[in-house]
């Protein structure tokens, strides 16, 4: 990947977010990442147009009043509908997963062994020339 890409990680688990950031840097040396512990903070920076947003569903473990991932995704799609989103979550509720994929055009990766590799593969296959198109694995 020749172009520098910007990835915003919206994750309330600081250790997990930093691990993901480090992993992505090891795979993509020309990557810029920023971490946001809650979606509301991230939304203030959405105008910087990241190439990819990696978003957890549960964002209130440390911040009880924080909105969940689907609520943030709704706001993202209103403010910047072409933002590409990967939901990286332990969420197993089929309805939530389906809403993320079907209603909002997000990719979904389950937090489990190999999840970081799956996220990296999605980023690798992303067509950055046309920010609305994904090359499906």
The predicted model scores a pTM of 0.85
CB contact set of 125 (below 8 Å; sequence gap of 6+): 134, 135, 136, 137
Q: What is the pLDDT of residues 11-36, one digit of tens each?
A: 989 999 999 999 999 999 889 999 99
**Which residue's structure tokens are 């990719």?**
107
- Determine, yes or no, domain membership for 21: no
Task: Report if residue 90 sits inside a domain.
Answer: no
Decide which of 129 and 112 is more confident: 112
**Res. 53: pLDDT tops 80:** yes
Mean pLDDT, the chain, whole residue set: 84
In a domain, 68, yes or no: yes
102 assigned to some structural domain: yes
Neighbouring-strand partners of residue 48: none
Domains: count for the chain? 1
**CA separation, residue 89 to residues 55, 81, 97 (Å):** 8, 21, 9
CA distance 42 to 85: 13
Label residue 133 by pLDDT band (50, 70, 90). Answer: very low
Residue 63 structural domain: 1-8+30-83+96-129
């Amino acid at each position: 990947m020749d172009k520098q890409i910007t990835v915003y990680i919206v994750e309330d688990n600081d250790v997990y977010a930093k691990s993901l950031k480090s992993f992505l840097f090891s795979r993509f040396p020309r990557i810029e990442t920023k971490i946001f512990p809650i979606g509301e903070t991230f939304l203030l920076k959405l105008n910087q147009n990241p190439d990819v947003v990696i978003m957890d569903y549960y964002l209130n473990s440390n911040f009880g009043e924080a909105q969940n991932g689907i609520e943030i995704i709704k706001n993202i799609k209103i403010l910047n509908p072409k933002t590409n989103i990967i939901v990286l979550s332990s969420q197993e509720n089929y309805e939530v997963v389906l809403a993320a994929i079907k209603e909002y055009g997000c990719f979904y990766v389950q937090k489990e062994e190999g999840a970081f590799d799956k996220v990296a593969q999605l980023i690798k296959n992303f067509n950055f020339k046309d920010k609305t198109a994904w090359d499906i694995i």
